[in-house]
Amino acid sequence: MTTSSSSATSRPLTRSDYVSTLPPWRRLLAMLNWRPVYDIEMRGRESEKRLKQLRLEVEQLQESNARIARFEQELFSSSNQAPSTGNSSPT
């Protein structure tokens, strides 16, 4: 049975794949369904991915907020100047 290396690296590690990489004594424990390390590692990887995604989203939001603030500043600074009507008498 042969598998291509690209398909092996593109799919996530399944429980059976993970168990096959363990030493025999850990395989026995895994057969007894005692696998806290695997669960902790998987949760850690998931949380790291989510944390990276959240940091990227925060960075994008900060950039958007900065652009909006610059736009508002330009808009309000130009709207504060009274348009000249040619008539200098106050009404």
Contact by Cβ (8 Å): 29, 35: yes
Lowest mean pLDDT among 33-37, 46-50, 69-73, 82-86: 82-86
- Residue count of the chain, please give it: 91
pLDDT given at position 66? 97
Q: Which residues contact 29 (CB under 8 A, 6 or more apart)?
A: 35
Q: What is the residue-averaged pLDDT of the chain?
A: 79
Identify the DSSP state of 32. Answer: T
Percent of the chain exceeding pLDDT 90 equals 34
pLDDT given at position 83? 56
Contact by Cβ (8 Å): 18, 38: yes
67: confidence class by pLDDT, cuts 50, 70, 90: very high
The conformational region for residue 17 under phi > 0 = left, psi -120 to 50 = alpha, else beta, is alpha
pLDDT given at position 31? 76
The stretch 47-51 carries a mean pLDDT of 96
